Structure formats: structure tokens, C-alpha cells
Amino acid sequence: MELEKIKGIGDKSKVLLNTIGINNVEELLEYYPYRYIEYKVNNINDVKDGDEVIIIGKVDSVPLVRFFKAKLNSLTFRLYSNNKMINVSIFNRAFMKNNLTPGKVATVIGKYNEKKNTISATNILLNGVVDGSIESVYHLTSGLTNKQLTKYIDTALNMNVDVNDNIPEYLSLKYNFVKKKDALHKIHRPRNIRDIKEAKLRLIYEELFTFMFKINYLKFTKTKECNKVPKKFDIREVQDFLSSLPFELTADQKKAIVDIEKDLESTSRMNRLLCGDVGSGKTIVSVVASYMCFLSGYQTALMAPTEILAIQHYDNIRKLMANTNMRIELLVGSTKKKDKDIIYEKLENGEIDLIIGTHAIISEKVKFKNLGLVITDEQHRFGVNQRNSLRNKGELPDILYMSATPIPRTYALTIYGDMDISLIKTKPSGRKEIKTIIKPESEIKDVLYMMLEEIKKGHQIYVVTPLIEESESSEINAVTEIKNKLETAFNNKVKIGLLHGKLDKQDKDKVMEDFKEGKSKILVSTTVIEVGVDVQNATMIVIFNAERFGLATLHQLRGRIGRNSLDSTCVLIGSKNNKRLKVMEESTDGFYITEKDFEMRKEGDLFGVKQSGDMAFKIADIKRDFKVLMQAKSDSEQFLKENVINAFKNYENYYKIVNEIKSLD
């Protein structure tokens, strides 16, 4: 149902709702509160000094407004409650003066100071509250108030909208769940804490059951893909190639290669996730997979999320395969049209064995002679449609996904239940642990001296900051200002590069090329360097406003250094008391850090990137609700087993879901 059906929603408010992901009435009803305020009204005669209070009384004086500098104002008045007179003060509420007339009933929320007999208020309500009532609080955007959103949701709740109930009736009865419509009323307008608990459990289970049904259905359909022609190759040639490498593979890498070898030789289509920590050596495993494919007479496509990463893969893989007959090409958005046309022709004629590129390789113009293997790097950065566009370019090609988001095995087996998983935990030999230290802004001079020492040794440094431009509401340093300050600190004697998302392609390439070649010693950047950028000579990374980054992002950023046998240091500029920064300081184990990330994140997407086909739950949380997830997994498997044969005839919603999944292939 369209949002315009809701009274009060016009063009302006529709745009605001779209901004927070609400595009129709159904999504409005499923935009759940992230917290609640329970109003327990106090008797002013019973409160003590320092208590947080909610007091109802009558205004007893004309409010006095005082104005200060920087648009600051204070409003004060007397309130008569339970035969006691108290003073009330609140900042920046001058606009309420005309409404707070003597005799008016007001609800004051704030902290009581017994000595001054004053409530320092955080909020004043004029409509009054019912003792024990609960207010829902929502995530908002600039221009949209909680009061407005509450009004829209109230209207939608009273419209008797037809909502999808995705829990089979026998499971609703088994767990004694409330009806979907009742759950929506209770989650938005609870009368008590019990309402919230009942509604949450039901809605969390439904979301996880639907998610696990999709995962299990994908797994079911993939087990049917058993008519693939097995790839045949001489394993001795693979072993000779491995022996020629200038380094020894780790035990985890060798095991992953054995897993992939079995998959390629099987009649079942490979659908494997290669999950490893930053710097664990996933790329060489994928290279070996492509070499096996080449020996079998098939082509391989490797898709990376950015041009920087695709070009880096191309350069590194060409060096690794220099002594083989593999023909390797690069295809990215900036490839010249003339060169693209040549590549298209070569691919179709089978004159390219490995094509490396960005989403450019899923173009309709790209046709393969015999695509046998699809490798997707940083797979969670691509939507389902993008991944499937590539896999559908061949006749049941084997699929290998790579991810540098280290996920504990228990979670991985559930989240990626439709895939086989190879984990790489051990790092290549010769690499030292990265030393991580936290430095407050006040100790920036110490950091500059540390940077100078690295530069004197001939090493290079990354400097990362969250934002490109400063705003009035933020004290975050912009990359441009950081660069200027560093140039001043080093007397303009150190060449510093600047990299951020607003640079055009040519400028980005030039900045990266200068840093790779050692022409610039410091690279000041936003998080565009987060994934994959590999400069062996970089031994230090300084991350400003580190507490503003998630743990996963910090770990990825730290992974840009320590890619050699040199001592490396990660400096986090932020508070020494920050819990997340302390986790980074105490460990370099990505799996441990991800576990801690699960514990600390209460809401939101697991990977920090909300994308089609990946987890972006509205109310469920993988860590908190793991037991519910496991039960939903078991229930969905049983439901699938019993209903897949009759095509979900009695379950229209699941018939629709299955068709949605099929439409992605």
C-alpha cells in the first residue's frame, strides 16, 4: 500500500520516510522501535537528591527566559505538585514559554537537586502521561520527529492493513505466538513490558524463520545441481606449480586447496566460501583454483568490488603465473572501448583463460567460450543479482566466494548454510604481529615522532580519517586538513598523497600509483583503502577518530600493514577507555574481534554493509537471538522437507518467496 494513503504524509514527509528505508505502508508497520521510555510518575515528597524523576504538577509562575551566547537559552518556572513547590529549569525551550501558563498541567522529566529544590529537566510534556505508560522511540532523520512518525504508524495500525504472516500456522500454535497484527500493535503501542516481550519473540522468530527458509531452499536447489561435467587435471602439475612458489603455503591454505580440488572433480557444482582473516592468503588459494580450471580446459572469472583491488589482483596474479601458459586479462569500467572489444572477442573465442575485473565483467557484452569457475572477492559487497549475473554466464560453473570478514564457524555454518566453507586462520610464515596502540589527540606529537622514524627507515604510512569535509556539528578533522597539518609538521619535506571518494578515477589511480612506487611516503585517506590495497613497504597506519569506526572496519584497515616481515604499528587516535579500541589493542585475531563485534553490536547489519541478499534484519540480532535462529533453522528445514514436493500449495507466502528466489537465478 502506498504511503500517500496515510493521512498527513505528503511529498516532503514521503522523501524523509524513504530516507530511513520506509517506502510503503507495510515497511512503515515493520519499522520497529529501537528503545522504549516507561513513564513511572514520582511523588515529589518521596524523591531523593540526584534521583531521575517524572513529576506531574501545575505551573505556578510565568516562565522566565534568559538568552546566552551561541543561541543558548534557559527557561525557568515554579511547579506545584503534591502540596510542594519546586523550581524547574530547562535549556533551549524558550519556544514553550507561551504554553506554560500558570495553572497549566505539565509533566517534567529530569534530575532532582534537593539542595536547590530544583529539577534540571531534559523534557517537558504538556499533554500529560499515564503512570506506567510506555513510549516507543524510533531511529529518525533530520526533519522527521518521533511524534510525527508515531502518528503515521498509529494511523497505519488503525487501517487494518493486510500483512504477510510468514509463520506456518502449526508452528504458531506450537509456540503459542500472538497473531501478526496483534504483534505489530504490541511492538509499537505496548501497554506493558509483557506486550513488548511477546511481540518481539514472535517477530524475531518470523524474521529468522523466513531467512533460514531462504538459505535452506537455496541449499536444497543447489544439491540438485549434480549434472555438472567434472573437471579433470593432473594433480602433479598443480603440485609442481605450488613447489615453484617463493613461499610455503600454510596448513589452512593447503586444506582449502584440497577442498576445492574435490569440488572441481565432483559432478556437483561447487558453492564454497573461502573465509579468512586479512592477510591470511586467500588470493593464492583462488589462483590455484583458477590454475586447476585452466588445466581442465576451462575459463575463470574473478570479480572484485573496486578497480583498485581488481588491478592489484591482476598485477599480483600475472607475476605468480608468469611461468605458466595461462592467458590473463583485466576488464574494468575504465578500460578503453577499443580494448574492451578485443577482450570481448578473445573471451568468446576462448583466448583468455582468466579474466579479472569489476562488475564490468557481468556486462551483457561479455560472453565466454567455456566458463568453468567464478570467483567473487569480498562477496558481501555484491548484491545477489550481481553475483548471479556472472554465474549464469556459464554452463553450471563452479562458484568460489572469498570474504575477509572472519566469521566464527558456528555462525558461518548457519549464515552461509547454502555453502560449503573453508576457513583460513593461520597467517603466512614470516609475518610479524602488528603492534596496536591507542593514543589520545593530546599525544599527537608522540605519533608524529613515530611517523618520522618510519619515514627515516624508508617505510611508508597510511593515515585514515572518517570524513571528507568538516561540518558545523562535528569536530572530526577532514582529510584535507589532516594532510595540511602533516605537511606543516614535516616542513613540506615529505611527499603526502590524498585519496578519497570524491576524486575522479584518473586522480585516484595517480595517487595510488605514486604510493605503490614509493614516490609519496604518506597516504592520507578515507576508508577507500579498507579492503585489499597491498603496499608491502607500508609499516604504519594512523587512524584518526578511531572510535567512530566499527571493529570490523578497524580490523580491515589494520590489515593494510604487516604484509611483510617488517615490524608494523597501528596507532588508533581516540580514548584509551573506549571498549572497542581496547579489543583492537589486545588482539590481531580477526575471528576473536568479530566475536567481540557481535557482542557489542546490538542492532544492524553484521557486515556493516546493508546489501541485497545479505543480512539486514529489522528486529532480529544474530548474536543475541542465536538460540532462536538455531530453532528457526531446524523448523525451516522440516517445513521445507514436508512442503517442497507439493510446491507450498497451502502456503501462498512461501510460494511467493520461492518464486522470488528463482527469479534471482
Q: Are 262 and 354 in contact (CB under 8 A)?
A: no
- Full DSSP string of 26-59: HHHHT---SEEEE--PPPTTT--TT-EEEEEEEE
Q: Which fold has domain 235-424?
A: Rossmann fold (3.40.50)
DSSP label at 477? P
Q: What is the pLDDT of residue 616?
A: 64
What grid cell was written down for 205?
Answer: 522468530
Low-confidence ranges of the chain (pLDDT < 50): 380-387, 468-476, 530, 602-615, 664-665
- Rounded to whole angstroms, the maximal C-alpha distance in the chain is 94
Give the C-alpha separation, 378 to 117, whole Å: 60
Nearest to 379 by CA among 411, 329, 421: 421
Q: Are strands 105-113 and 52-59 parallel, antiparallel or unpaired?
A: antiparallel
Q: Are 36 and 189 in contact (CB under 8 A)?
A: no
Q: Which residues belong to CATH 3.40.50.300 in the chain? A: 235-424, 435-587
What grid cell was written down for 365?
Answer: 557484452
Q: What is the pLDDT of residue 614?
A: 41
Q: Answer left, alpha or beta for residue 132, where phi above 0 means left and psi between -120 and 50 means alpha.
A: left
Q: What is the pLDDT of residue 409?
A: 59
Q: Are 256 and 281 in contact (CB under 8 A)?
A: no
Give the C-alpha separation, 121 to 75, whole Å: 10
Q: Which fold has domain 40-125?
A: OB fold (Dihydrolipoamide Acetyltransferase, E2P) (2.40.50)
Q: Are strands 328-331 and 371-377 parallel, antiparallel or unpaired?
A: unpaired
Q: What is the pLDDT of residue 308?
A: 79
Instruction: Give every CB contact of residue 575 below 8 A, 6+ residues apart in sequence.
Output: 438, 440, 547, 581
Q: What is the pLDDT of residue 499?
A: 84
* pLDDT, tens digit (0-9, with 9 covering 90-100), for 99-132: 999 999 999 999 999 999 999 999 898 877 778 8
Q: What is the pLDDT of residue 610?
A: 32
Q: Are 580 and 551 in contact (CB under 8 A)?
A: yes
Predicted TM-score (pTM) above 0.95: no
Q: Which residues belong to CATH 2.40.50.140 in the chain? A: 40-125
Q: Which fold has domain 435-587?
A: Rossmann fold (3.40.50)
Instruction: Give every CB contact of residue 246 below 8 A, 6+ residues apart in sequence.
Output: none
